[in-house]
Copies of this chain bind each other. A is one copy, B any other.
Amino acid sequence: MTETLLGEKNPLLKQVRRAVARGSLTEDGFAVAESFHLLEEALASDCEIGVVIAAESVKSAVAAHVRGLKRTRVVAVRDAVFAEIASTEATQGVIALVRPPAWTLDQLLRGRSLVVVLDGVQDPGNAGAIVRAAEAFGGTGAAFLKGSVSPYNPKSLRASAGSLFRLPVVAHADQNLLLAAIDHKRIALYAAVPRAKKGIADARFAESCAIVIGGEGRGVSQALLDRATAVRIPTSGVESLNAAVAAGVLLYEARRQRGTV
């Protein structure tokens, strides 16, 4: 373990600051994983950890977490400097730079697929909660179509509670390539639509399928609606549900139909 007190203008810190501001990976391809919980999830995963940045006041706690992992480098920065790069207001003082696994669409669509497709989901908290629900209910992957938030936005990563280190995920997915792959593999495509005729209990989620979740404001795009079977979550009184809640209900229903409840 190396400890270096990095200065404010250090290139590594600049990269982190930019990734937080942009809601993306760093230029070197690392995800900004902030919190002890995410550090633990990263350590338990197969992901490469580039470096762990600790606020000076908690550097021994951070060092204790990575003890025994000789190849993990910990660097400390002054608390005031850490507060500036942190993506949360109530920061715990630890950021791990984690290289997320690279996945292909084929890997998402393997076996008896259950893929969630994010179509214009903008809220990083919702996006992360969707990935977490997808892993929880036996999803085989999540495709983030272009126009959605990045799964590697630090806020998405935090809301995923570590699921992004494990579940196959494709960022900036091309809609046409996804549709072609789905056709080729004969995977059924569903879209959650408020006033659809078919209820989700009548969908056939036990077969290989992909389920589209639309963005918070706009819903599912017309191009996907034209191709998908529209299904309705049985609600009353409201226009729609929160995107993550809708995804959770659909994925739970899929798990129920697959007999793994």
Residues of A within 8 A of B (CB): 125, 129, 132-133, 135-138, 159, 161-163, 166, 199-201, 233-242, 244-249, 252-253, 255-256, 260-261
Contact = CB atoms under 8 A, between A and B. Distances in A.
A159 B242 contact: yes
B261 A133 contact: no
B199 A235 contact: no
Q: Copy number in this complex? A: 2
A87 to B, nearest CB: 15
Contacts of A199: 261
A135 B239 CA distance: 11
Given A129-B242, A248-B241, A249-B248, A137 B235 contact: yes
A161 to B, nearest CB: 7
Contacts of A245: 129, 132-133, 244-245, 247-248
B244 A201 contact: no
